[in-house]
Amino acid sequence: MYAQMVKSTGKGLKSRKEMTPEEGRFQDRIDAGEKIEPKDWMPDGYRQTLIRQIGQHAHSEIVGQLPEGNWITRAPTLSRKLILLAKVQDEAGHGLYLYCAAETLGVSRDELTEALHTGRMKYSSIFNYPTLTWADIGAIGWLVDGAAIMNQVPLQRTSYGPYARAMVRICKEESFHQRQGYDIMMKMANGTEAQRAMAQDALNRFWYPSLMMFGPSDKDSVHSAQSMAWKIKINTNDELRQKFVDQTVPQAEYLGLTIPDNDLKYNKKTGHYEFSDPDWTEFFEVLKGNGPCNRERLGARVKAWDDGAWVRDGLMAHAVKHSAKIAAE
Ligand code: BYC
Query: What is the rounded (10 degree) CA torsion for 21, 52, 305, 99?
Result: -60
pLDDT in tens, 276-295: 999 999 999 999 999 999 99
pLDDT in tens, 87-138: 999 999 999 999 999 999 999 999 999 999 999 999 999 999 999 999 999 9
pLDDT at 4: 47
What is d(CA 213, CA 237) in angstroms, rounded to the nearest whole number? 9
Instruction: Please state, in angstroms and as integers, the Cα–Cα distance from residue 99 to each residue in 50, 59, 104, 211, 233, following that order.
Output: 12, 8, 9, 25, 19
Mean pLDDT of the chain: 95
pLDDT more than 70, % of the chain: 96
Question: What length does the chain have?
Answer: 329
Instruction: Please state, in angstroms and as integers, the Cα–Cα distance from residue 262 to each residue in 202, 211, 217, 242, 275, following that order.
Output: 17, 16, 20, 17, 9
pLDDT in tens, 31-48: 999 999 999 999 999 999
Rounded to the nearest whole angstrom, what is the distance from the C-alpha of residue 167 to the centroid of ligand 1?
A: 15
Region 201-227: what's the mean pLDDT?
97
Which residue is closest in CA terms to ligand 1's atom 34? 57
Contact 287, 125 (CB under 8 A): yes
Which residue is closest in CA terms to ligand 1's atom 19? 3
Which residue is closest in CA terms to ligand 1's atom 43? 57
Contact 158, 235 (CB under 8 A): no
What is d(CA 189, CA 193) in angstroms, rounded to the nearest whole number? 9
pLDDT in tens, 217-235: 999 999 999 999 999 999 9
Question: For residue 74, what pLDDT band results from cuts at 50, 70 and 90?
Answer: very high
In 10 A of CB 287, how many CB atoms? 18
Rounded to the nearest whole angstrom, what is the distance from the C-alpha of residue 217 to the centroid of ligand 1?
A: 12
Asked if the model's pLDDT at residue 60 lies above 80, the reply is yes
What is d(CA 101, CA 95) in angstroms, rounded to the nearest whole number? 10
Instruction: Please state, in angstroms and as integers, the Cα–Cα distance from residue 7 to each residue in 3, 10, 233, 258, 294, following that order.
Output: 6, 9, 17, 40, 23
pLDDT at 56: 98
Query: In angstroms, how far apart are the furthest CA atoms of the chain?
Result: 78
Instruction: Please state, in angstroms and as integers, the Cα–Cα distance from residue 68 to each residue in 64, 65, 99, 177, 264, following that order.
Output: 7, 6, 21, 12, 29
Region 258-286: what's the mean pLDDT?
98
Which residue is closest in CA terms to ligand 1's atom 13? 148
Say yes or no: CB of residue 171 within 6 Å of ligand 1: no
pLDDT at 6: 45
What is d(CA 38, CA 289) in angstroms, rounded to the nearest whole number? 33
Asked if the model's pLDDT at residue 145 lies above 90, the reply is yes
pLDDT at 13: 86
Backbone angles phi, psi at 306, to 5 degrees: -65, -45
HEC string for the chain: CCCCCCCCCCCCCCCCCCCCHHHHHHHHHHHCCCCECCCCCCCHHHHHHHHHHHHHHHHHHHHCHHHHHCCHHHCCCHHHHHHHHHHHHHHHHHHHHHHHHHHCCCCCHHHHHHHHHCCCCCCCHHHHCCCCCHHHHHHHHHHHHHHHHHHHHHHCCCCEHHHHHHHHHHHHHHHHHHHHHHHHHHHHHCCCHHHHHHHHHHHHHHHHHHHHCCCCCHHHCCCHHHHHHCCCCCCCHHHHHHHHHHHHHHHHHHHCCCCCCCCCEEECCCCEEECCCCCHHHHHHHHHHHCCCHHHHHHHHHHHHHHCHHHHHHHHHHHHHHHHHHHHC
Contact 141, 182 (CB under 8 A): yes
pLDDT at 209: 98
Asked if the model's pLDDT at residue 155 lies above 80, the reply is yes
Contact 105, 92 (CB under 8 A): no
pLDDT at 329: 87
Say yes or no: CB of residue 125 within 6 Å of ligand 1: yes
Say yes or no: CB of residue 4 within 6 Å of ligand 1: yes
pLDDT in tens, 8-20: 444 468 889 999 9
